[in-house]
Amino acid sequence: MKATKEKMKSKIKKRKHKSSKGKLIKGMTKKLPYEILNDPTFTKKLKELMKGYAGIYALYKSDKLYYVGLTRDLFGRIWWHQRDRHAGKWNKFIIFRIKRVGYLKDIETIIHHIVKTKGNKVRGRVPIDSDLNRVLREILMERGKEYKKLKAIFDHQ
């Protein structure tokens, strides 16, 4: 019976680990209609919720993702997209408030390489020393040279 109590205590201790949830994302919305950006009641509250937060936002045309962006001024940026080259091309949006601004560009790059959107012109780049495809291409080229040598040997026989 003592051994059973010890096992239960160890299981309880294992469960008491700190979650990493909420370390990066400090808030998000569901898809919201763009019309609320022009409603005075919602505008005031949205400005309060977004004040001081950078973030990533997504613009949708109905349920189809149109554009993904990042900004240091969530409300202002989304509001402006009603008047810039994206005007009339979207009707819903989602926001993600982000605490660590230093990660924004990398997160946006990840998103753009997973999902293609009509509205985005730039996809973002990975630093050359982090480009894993470059390493794989180099291996492929080396293998190609080896195969050419073997082929030449067999062709001469």
Number of H helices and E strands in the chain, helices first, is 5, 5
pTM beyond 0.85: no
Distance CA 111, CA 106 (A): 9
Please list the pLDDT of the chain residue by residue as tens digits (157 residues). Answer: 556 666 655 555 555 667 666 677 888 899 999 999 989 998 898 888 888 788 899 999 999 999 998 888 888 899 999 999 999 999 999 999 887 677 778 888 888 888 888 888 777 777 666 777 777 788 878 887 777 776 777 676 6
Residues forming a β-bridge with 18: none
Q: Residue ranges of the domains in the chain?
A: 25-124, 126-157
* CATH tag, 25-124: 3.40.1440.10
Tokens 């202002």 map to which residue?
A: 76
3-state SS class at 16 = coil
